[in-house]
Structure 1
């Protein structure tokens, strides 16, 4: 068994970096329940489930230290602001404590940054103190659009900037995570998603500045940690 490098987190810290993703549209309810059981077994930070699955996840994870999260305007971000606000309220009422919202990507690419900021602020208000993570879908944005978006997220009062949905042509990159971390203040945390499938990828993203990583390969990642470094 290897000794972890000096900057490698301990097992629990590594596990609490992961939001276990259960968002694929074809998942059965049994597969969602099994995914929640896996998340509890590995004691990750949260599950991120489809909106209709929030009550199931809340029941499955009662009494654990795993939060229940869900998504707003996923994966395209183009619903009306009023619908995003209604989704946020409904998800909180159903028991979700973490909300991952997709921004209106077309607005961002059109230069309507103030409109994007105001929409995020409306969702933050509707979330009523629960965590809001804002998905920018970096694969569709140029450098200046990314920086403007990250700043808008912070101005709107959200808790996290997030790289991607995992359903676009590209996912998380180390460069984007580093740019996010360099752009927002320490108050705002960074989440990466899309392509984090190995322990090495998880650790590299964390080193670049990610506080959370969305993952479907949770078991493989944490089993590899235990094989290398123990618990």
Structure 2
């Protein structure tokens, strides 16, 4: 098991609604100390965390979170506001109602609009795999690829299930070569983390891995 590789893939995450600045600051300190890929935090703390980190570690935040049903205009504004406050990575929740209605052109248009708003910064699209059929997962792989987004992400961690080995393998098999996979939700052990990386995930969204390494 490659502990260093695991930590370098972690978006060290704290998205609990009751999160305080002291907790966010600890997430930032640990993210730097343990060589994580980013910290993933609520939008309201992005500016404060970005100033605190002063470029030592990218700040990631979430938009349309956790339900995905904000309008496209709101999601675009959220992304622009987050980047103005210092975010360098955006995790966007897809509109699951549109997915269930088969409104694929609307889904694609929204993904493209948010990616355009992100510009050169990283966009990860959360598809909430636990709510999807196999056919919907495959279709979303196609749309995420077509949109120009950088990642497809399994889960918010706030729904009925998180990442599974089967879903990570499926997403990796169906997205384009330029799209990476982020596994998130329910990663409770270093063994889980290594399994997801071995299956092709490039990022791990988790609040637990650093704590496990810290002992």
TM-score range, shorter chain: over 0.9
Moved more, 54-63 or 35-44: 54-63
Match of 1:23 among 15, 22, 25: 15
For residues 6-65 of structure 1, give each alpha carbon's deviation from its aligned partner in whole angstroms, at most 9, with x where no partner exists: xx44x432211100111100111111111111111111000001001101211222242x
- Calculate the TM-score normalised by the size of structure 1: 0.90
Match of 1:207 among 187, 198, 204: 198
Match of 1:59 among 51, 65, 70: 51
**Larger CA Rg, structure 1 vs 2:** 1
Asked if 1:123 is matched to 2:114, the reply is yes
In structure 2, the partner of 1:142 is 133
> Distance in 1 between the 2:153 and 2:164 partners?
11
Moved more, 77-86 or 106-115: 106-115
Match of 2:90 among 99, 115, 123: 99
In structure 2, the partner of 1:38 is 30
For residues 204-224 of structure 1, give each alpha carbon's deviation from its aligned partner in whole angstroms, at most 9, with x where no partner exists: 011111100001013234347
Query: Does the 8 A contact of 2:99 with 2:136 survive in 1?
Result: yes
In structure 1, the partner of 2:76 is 85
- Change in 2 beyond 3 A, CA 1:63/1:110: closer
> Distance in 1 between the 2:153 and 2:18 partners?
24
Gapped regions of structure 1 (runs ≥ 5): 1-7, 225-231
Deviation at 1:168, TM superposition (A): 0.3
> Distance in 2 between the 1:132 and 1:185 partners?
15
Moved more, 169-178 or 215-224: 215-224
In structure 2, the partner of 1:229 is none
Gapped regions of structure 2 (runs ≥ 5): none
Query: Does the 8 A contact of 1:73 with 1:101 survive in 2?
Result: yes
Deviation at 1:156, TM superposition (A): 0.5
- Change in 2 beyond 3 A, CA 1:222/1:47: same
> Distance in 1 between the 2:212 and 2:179 partners?
26
For residues 50-104 of structure 1, give each alpha carbon's deviation from its aligned partner in whole angstroms, at most 9, with x where no partner exists: 001101211222242x210001100000001000011111111111000000010
Q: How many residues align?
A: 215
In structure 2, the partner of 1:154 is 145
> Distance in 2 between the 1:106 and 1:204 partners?
31
Query: Does the 8 A contact of 2:190 with 2:209 survive in 1?
Result: no
> Distance in 1 between the 2:167 and 2:79 partners?
27
In structure 2, the partner of 1:13 is 5
> Distance in 2 between the 1:156 and 1:222 partners?
36
